[in-house]
Chain A
Amino acid sequence: MDRREFLKRTAVLGLGGAALLLPRSVRRAFGAGEGLPGLAAVRGGEPGEMFERGVAALGGMERFVKKGQTVVIKPNMSWDVPPERGGNTNPELVERIVRRCLEAGASKVYAFDHTCDLWRNSYRNSGVEEAVKRGGGVVAPADTSGYYQKVPLPGGRALKETAVHELMLECDVFINVPVLKHHGGAGITMGMKNLMGTVWNRGEFHAKGLHQCIADVSLFRKPALTVIDAYRMMTRNGPRGTSERDVTLLKAQILSTDIVAGDAAAARIFGADPKNVSYIRSASEMGIGTMDLESLGVERIAL
């Protein structure tokens, strides 16, 4: 332990101790999250409504967003397909999250994605751009390397460094909002795979081993909250899909403070054992999060 590390730890312990002396209501407002569940699973409602119930069960939006903070929301809006195709995150859900962040006192809410199809078309036709604006947020482009900054990934097994979008470095709060769907290469895509849209060099992931790179990039910045949209779930021909027939109207949503646990729960909904999804297994071994849902505390909500 060097001097810097020692000071850092002392400060954290000191603050933690101080926090314990505060009344419970104040602690909750500061996000200690004690006694609150770490994962909420919701089913049977509309996307916005399911989010409301889920986030309330996790202690409200105030647990994640404090007054004056800047928030980055990372939806999936990677494909030039309309919302009915389930290729991108549900716009209604994104709009609701943006709104709740601002209501919780966020000073600014940004959303971006390094898209696969042409960014302008994907932002527009996914309906997400419009949804972010309706909610009061700002949509940022992510289509040129100028927006990205190189960061080290200490502990990465296949990826030692990568360039991430500048907003990922600048924001106070990061909220990950993927969609659950089939993926030809990775099997299933959800929380961690969605982070591939925060980096510049996507091709490198494929070249260096997709699963391990997905786990490695999750080391960079753990989202305060991961909201996995499973309202429409693409069950085949993913991640782009060829028609609405590839989609099942499932009406479900997972909210998790732990990205690995969120993916593990979503994998089960998709019908897979998380242990068989390599990036989930790797991430759990690397200590990024846990596959053990019950250790987090799970709230199950049916509407």
Chain B
Amino acid sequence: MLFLAHFLFRPSESALPLLPSLQVVPSILRWWGGAAVLALGALLAGRVYCSVLCPLGTFQEAVWRAGGRRLSGYAPGSRARYWTLALVLAAGAAGVSAVPALLDPYAAFGRGVTQLLRPPMAGGIDSLAGFLESRGLYGIISRAGRIPFVPGLFWGTAAFFLVLTLWSLRKGRPFCDALCPVGTFLGLFSRSSLLSVRFSGENCTGCGLCGTVCPQRCISVKERKVDADRCVLCLRCVDACPGGELALSFAPPGESLSRRGLLRTAAGFTAALGLTLWSAKKDGTVPAGASSWDEKLPLSPPGSKSRGNFTKKCVACTACVTVCPAGILRPSLGEWGPEGLFQPVLDYGRGYCQYGCTACGDACPTGAIESLEPGEKQLVSIGKARFLRRNCIVRKYGTACGACSEHCPTQAMRMVPFRGNLTIPELDPSICLGCGACEYACPAEPKAVTVSGLTVHGKIRPLSGGGEGPTVAPLEEFPF
């Protein structure tokens, strides 16, 4: 429920942003130690993460319970999940972020909420607000605001959730069991976990009730065993067992830290470490902007440091898209290349990056966009404006304008004398943030100023006079 709220509303000053950092993929991407902590957790308590923290797992279980369908008992674990995990690790190591992004359960859930649930909810809120306003009641509820609609992402997400819903109704937690790379990763460690569900004594009558309530279908009554690498510790079986045979218990000493368990653990660690060290490695690309007026490079949010850092760490969960108050972040459709599908990109057709705002970085769970203080953010240059004088209204029609300079927070676009009383913009790239205010405000067609992204973000020189106060000069006499 908390995750639902996290993606539905715009969490600002709440503790909610902490939630995503409890998620496996985001925390590994943010800090490689996250993998170690989670692996240790799995060694201790198995895949409890899947039933307690994972929003997609909770979703599947809720769907299954709502359907009320009993399951048919034990089914052996699928091989496909190991291939999925291998594919995700390989793709991650090769920098093809789209694969982990599409299969990470946390990100998939986030996309489901922002793409499928939020739009109708926002529509409802907005029409209610409109109804109240038409009766002169302003400000009772505020409008939810729209997030960009990307057809490919919407339909893809809709299809994913339709399939998952139907599948879950029949099979419990099919994604967790058969596909999830996170679950499979944790399963490597939970096989030898300290705490697990097991058959405790000799009271089992073989009634098979436990099997019908197990969403992972991992309890074999015949062999009297629970597959610990698949069990998510939902404890439904413990509740269902009439004889009190199944119980959550600690493993007897010696069994848990077997040689095989240790080896497996070591292998898992190495893989995770390799992946995370790789993604932590410095981005070797040199700062570069567009080379010509026509070439327009995509822009990544302030705090994402560079195109390389951003596309590597982003899982396309769309949390930033939801919180952006200007609504200028939208899932990309090829701007970052096919491997960066749906990773957000800035779109200045809808607005511009607000000078004092740091919402996207605060919302990002993976560190793809780092959280910045407003003061830091106001020095980060994510792109550069290019001014094409011949398109400018002032030059073309000889009338006053200055919309670009009006909106420019640093006065990188500054009005300088032109003909007669007219003034025309002049660009100082050294203090340009690439925020897009000028491009958005420019009324010329085609635009006289556009912003192109920087592959590695830069820093502008600090604007002088930050701390100094106003000139105190009260009016001495009226000049009329």
Asked if A116 and B393 sit within 8 Å, CB to CB, the answer is: no
Q: Is B20 part of the contact surface with A, judged by Cβ < 8 Å? A: no
Q: CA separation between A86 and B471, bound complex, in Å?
A: 12
Asked if A244 and B356 sit within 8 Å, CB to CB, the answer is: no
Which B residues are closer than 8 A to A by beta carbons? Answer: 130, 133, 136, 138-139, 142-143, 325-326, 351, 354-357, 393, 397, 399-403, 405-411, 414-415, 421, 423, 441, 443-445, 463-466, 468-475, 478-480
Chain B residues with Cβ under 8 A from A295's Cβ? Answer: none
Asked if B470 and A245 sit within 8 Å, CB to CB, the answer is: yes
Q: CA separation between A13 and B402, bound complex, in Å?
A: 46
Which one, A41, A116, A248, contacts B406 given CB within 8 A? Answer: A116
Asked if A269 and B475 sit within 8 Å, CB to CB, the answer is: yes
Asked if A204 and B443 sit within 8 Å, CB to CB, the answer is: yes
Most chain A CB neighbours (cut-off 10 Å) among B142, B403, B473: B403
A179 shortest CB reach to chain B, Å: 14
Asked if B402 and A249 sit within 8 Å, CB to CB, the answer is: no
Asked if A140 and B474 sit within 8 Å, CB to CB, the answer is: no
Asked if A184 and B138 sit within 8 Å, CB to CB, the answer is: no
22 contacts between A and B (CB under 8 A): A44-B475, A80-B355, A118-B325, A121-B356, A125-B356, A140-B133, A141-B139, A184-B402, A184-B415, A186-B402, A208-B399, A210-B402, A243-B465, A243-B468, A244-B465, A245-B469, A247-B471, A249-B471, A249-B474, A250-B474, A268-B480, A269-B479
Which one, B136, B400, B409, B473, contacts A240 given CB within 8 A? Answer: B409
Which one, A118, A139, A206, A251, contacts B474 given CB within 8 A? Answer: A251
User: Do A121 and B357 contact each other (CB < 8 Å), given the known contacts A239-B406, A245-B468, A248-B471?
Assistant: yes
Q: Is A25 part of the contact surface with B, judged by Cβ < 8 Å? A: no
B164 shortest CB reach to chain A, Å: 35
Chain B residues with Cβ under 8 A from A293's Cβ? Answer: 480
Q: CA separation between A251 and B326, bound complex, in Å?
A: 35
Interface residues of chain B: helix, strand, loop or mixed (majority) = loop
Extra inter-chain contacts (17) besides given A146-B130, A245-B470, A278-B421, CB under 8 Å: A43-B474, A44-B474, A44-B475, A117-B355, A120-B325, A121-B357, A138-B139, A139-B138, A184-B402, A207-B443, A209-B399, A210-B400, A239-B406, A249-B470, A269-B475, A271-B479, A300-B478
Interface size on A, residues (CB 8 A): 60
Chain B residues with Cβ under 8 A from A300's Cβ? Answer: 478
Which one, A144, A209, A242, contacts B397 given CB within 8 A? Answer: A209
Which one, B139, B465, B466, B473, contacts A139 given CB within 8 A? Answer: B139
Q: CA separation between A249 and B356, bound complex, in Å?
A: 24
A 192-222 to B, binary, CB cutoff 8 A, 1 in contact else 0: 0000000000011011111100000000000
Q: Is A265 part of the contact surface with B, judged by Cβ < 8 Å? A: yes
Q: Which 9 A-B pairs have the closest CB atoms?
A: A185-B402, A184-B415, A247-B470, A245-B465, A184-B402, A184-B405, A140-B138, A206-B443, A209-B399
A53 shortest CB reach to chain B, Å: 14
Chain A residues with Cβ under 8 A from B138's Cβ? Answer: 110, 138-141
Interface residues of chain A: helix, strand, loop or mixed (majority) = mixed
Chain B residues with Cβ under 8 A from A138's Cβ? Answer: 138-139
Q: CA separation between A268 and B475, bound complex, in Å?
A: 12
Chain B residues with Cβ under 8 A from A80's Cβ? Answer: 354-356
Task: Return the chain A residue nearest B136 by Cβ.
Answer: A108
Which one, A84, A208, A250, A264, contacts B475 given CB within 8 A? Answer: A250
Asked if B139 and A140 sit within 8 Å, CB to CB, the answer is: yes
A267 shortest CB reach to chain B, Å: 9
130-164 of chain A: CB within 8 A of chain B? 138-141, 144, 146-147
Task: Return the chain B residue nearest A301 by Cβ.
Answer: B478
Asked if B475 and A43 sit within 8 Å, CB to CB, the answer is: yes
Q: Is A232 part of the contact surface with B, judged by Cβ < 8 Å? A: yes
Q: CA separation between A242 and B466, bound complex, in Å?
A: 8
246-274 of chain A: CB within 8 A of chain B? 247-252, 264-265, 268-269, 271
Chain B residues with Cβ under 8 A from A203's Cβ? Answer: 403, 441, 443
Task: Return the chain B residue nearest A39 by Cβ.
Answer: B480
Which one, B325, B463, B480, contacts A243 given CB within 8 A? Answer: B463
Asked if B143 and A141 sit within 8 Å, CB to CB, the answer is: yes
Asked if B443 and A276 sit within 8 Å, CB to CB, the answer is: no
Chain B residues with Cβ under 8 A from A242's Cβ? Answer: 409-411, 463, 465
A131 shortest CB reach to chain B, Å: 14
User: Do A121 and B463 contact each other (CB < 8 Å), given the known contacts A84-B470, A184-B423, A209-B397?
Assistant: no
A263 shortest CB reach to chain B, Å: 12
Chain A residues with Cβ under 8 A from B473's Cβ? Answer: 248-250
Q: CA separation between A229 and B409, bound complex, in Å?
A: 22
Q: CA separation between A116 and B409, bound complex, in Å?
A: 12
Q: CA separation between A121 and B409, bound complex, in Å?
A: 15
Chain A residues with Cβ under 8 A from B133's Cβ? Answer: 140-141, 147
Asked if B415 and A185 sit within 8 Å, CB to CB, the answer is: yes
B134 shortest CB reach to chain A, Å: 9
B421 shortest CB reach to chain A, Å: 7
Task: Return the chain A residue nearest B409 by Cβ.
Answer: A240
Chain B residues with Cβ under 8 A from A147's Cβ? Answer: 133
Q: Is A224 part of the contact surface with B, judged by Cβ < 8 Å? A: no
Task: Return the chain A residue nearest B416 by Cβ.
Answer: A184
